Structure 1
Amino acid sequence: MTAPIRLAIVRQKYNPHGGAERFVARALDALAARGALDVTLLARQWQQGDSSWHSETVNPRYSGRLGRDRGFARAVQKRLKNFDLVQSHERIPGAAIFRAGDGVHAVWLEQLSRVQGLSARLIRFFSPYHSYVCQAETEMFRHPALQTVICNSKLVRDEIADRFAVPDHKLELIYNGVDTDAFHPDLVRHRVAMRDEWQVPQDAPLLAYVGSGFARKGVATALEAIVPHPGVHLVIAGADKHAKRYRKLAETLGVAARVRFLGGVADVKPVYGAADALILPTLYDPFPNVCVEAFAAGLPVFTSPMCGAAEWISEGVNGWTNDALDVEGYRSAVGIWLARRDEWPALRMAARKTAEPHTLARMAGELEALYARLLARTDQT
Structure 2
Amino acid sequence: MSSLTPNSAESFVGEKKRLRIAVFNRTFSTTGGGAERYSIALVEQLASRHDIHVFAQEIAHNWPGVAYHRVSMPMRKPRWVNQLWFATCTWWSTRSGFDVVHSHENTWHGDVQTVHVLPVKYTLFRELWGWRKVFRWIKVVASPRLLAYLALEHLRFKFRPNRKIVVTSESLWKIVDATYPDCEGMISVVTPGISPPLLPLTQLRKKRARSLLGLPKDKYCVLFVANDYRKKGLKTLLAALSKCPTGFILAVVGNLTEMPAFNEQVKVLNLASRVFFLGSLKNVAPAYESADCLAHPTLEDTFAMVVLEAMSYGLPVVVSSAEYCGVAGLLQDGENALILDDPLDPFKLQRALEQLQNQPLLSEKLSKGATAFASCYQWSRLALKQEELYMDVYEATNAVKNQQ
Q: TM-score range by the shorter chain?
A: 0.7 to 0.9
**2-side partners of 1:319 and 1:3: how far apart?**
41
Distance in structure 2 (CA, Å) of the matches to 1:31 and 1:160: 27
Q: Hey, what's the Cα distance between the residues in 1 that align with 2:394 and 2:117?
A: 26
| Structure 1 residues 205-227: Cα deviation after superposition (integer angstroms, max 9, x where no partner) | 22100121111211111111222
Matched-pair identity in %: 24
Aligned residue type for 1:5: L
Is residue 121 of structure 2 the alignment partner of residue 90 of structure 1?
no
Q: Distance in 2 between matches of 1:143 and 1:30?
A: 28
Measured against aligned partners, the alpha-carbon deviations of 1:349-381 in whole angstroms (never above 9, x if no partner) come to 111111001111101111112212222233334
Q: How far apart, in 2, do the equivalents of 1:5 and 1:127 lie?
A: 40
2:346 pairs with one of 286, 311, 327: 327
> Match for residue 360 of structure 2?
341
Query: Partner amino acid for 2:87?
Result: A
Shift of 1:174: 1.0
Within a 5 Å distance, the mapping from 1:30-109 to structure 2 comes to: 30-33=45-48, 35=49, 37-59=50-72, 61-62=74-75, 64-78=78-92, 79-107=94-122
Report the counterpart of residue 356 of structure 1 in structure 2: 375
Matched, 1:12 2:26: yes
Q: 1:3 to 1:354 in 2, by over 3 A?
A: closer
Per mean C-alpha deviation after superposition, the further-off stretch among 135-144 and 18-27 is: 135-144
1:138 deviation in Å?
A: 2.2
Query: Residue 243 of structure 1 is aligned with which of 256, 259, 279?
Result: 259
Q: Where does residue 117 of structure 1 map in the other structure?
A: none
Counterpart CA distance in 1 for 2:231 and 2:122 is 12
Counterpart secondary structure, 1:370: helix
- Alpha carbons 2:312, 2:371 under 8 Å: kept: yes
Q: Measure the CA separation in 1 of the matches of 2:144 and 2:108.
A: 18
1:114 aligned partner: none
Cα displacement (A) at 1:90: 0.6
Name the structure 1 match of 2:335.
Answer: 317
Shift of 1:348: 0.9
State whether residues 121 and 179 of structure 2, in contact with CA within 8 Å, keep that contact through their aligned partners in structure 1. no
| Secondary structure of 1:83's aligned partner | coil
CA positional deviation for 1:162: 0.9
Q: Secondary structure at the match of 1:246?
A: helix
3-state SS of the aligned residue for 1:236?
A: strand
* TM-score normalised according to structure 2 size: 0.83
Alpha carbons of structure 1 residues 105 and 301: separation in structure 2 relative to 1, 3 Å = farther
Going from structure 1 to structure 2, the CA distance change for 1:4 and 1:347 (only over 3 Å counts) comes to: same
TM-score by length of 1: 0.87
Shift of 1:100: 0.6
Q: Spell out, residue by residue over 1:52-109, the C-alpha distance to the aligned partner (whole angstroms, 9 max, x if none).
A: 2112222263463222111111122222333111110011112211001233235566
Taking the aligned partners of 1:8 and 1:373, their CA distance within structure 2 comes to: 16
* CA–CA separation in structure 2 for the residues paired with 1:88 and 1:77: 11
Amino acid at match of 1:357: C
Partner of 2:6: none
Cα 1:169/1:143, change in 2 over 3 Å: closer
Structure 2 gap segments, 5+ residues each: 1-14, 127-135
- Mapped to 2, the partners of 1:197 and 1:77 lie a distance apart of 44
User: Is 1:308 the counterpart of 2:326 in the alignment?
Assistant: yes
Q: Aligned to 1:129, which of 145, 155, 162? A: 145
Structure 1, 4-13 or 124-133: larger mean CA deviation: 124-133
Give the superposition deviation at 1:196: 4.5
Distance 2:168 2:387 in 1: 16
Deviation at 1:145, TM superposition (A): 6.4
Contact 1:185/1:273, CA 8 A, preserved across alignment: no
CA displacement, residues 157-177 of structure 1 (integer Å, 9 cap, x when unaligned): 111001111444311111112
Runs of 4+ more than 6 Å apart: none
- Give the SS at the match of 2:96: helix
- Distance (Å, rounded) in 1 between the aligned partners of 2:69 and 2:364: 47
Q: 1:146 to 1:287 in 2, by over 3 A?
A: farther
Any idea what SS the aligned residue of 1:224 has? helix
Q: Which residue identity is paired with 1:219?
A: L
Kept in 1: contact 2:23–2:101 (CA 8 A): yes
Question: 1:276 Cα deviation (Å)?
Answer: 1.2
RMSD: 2.6
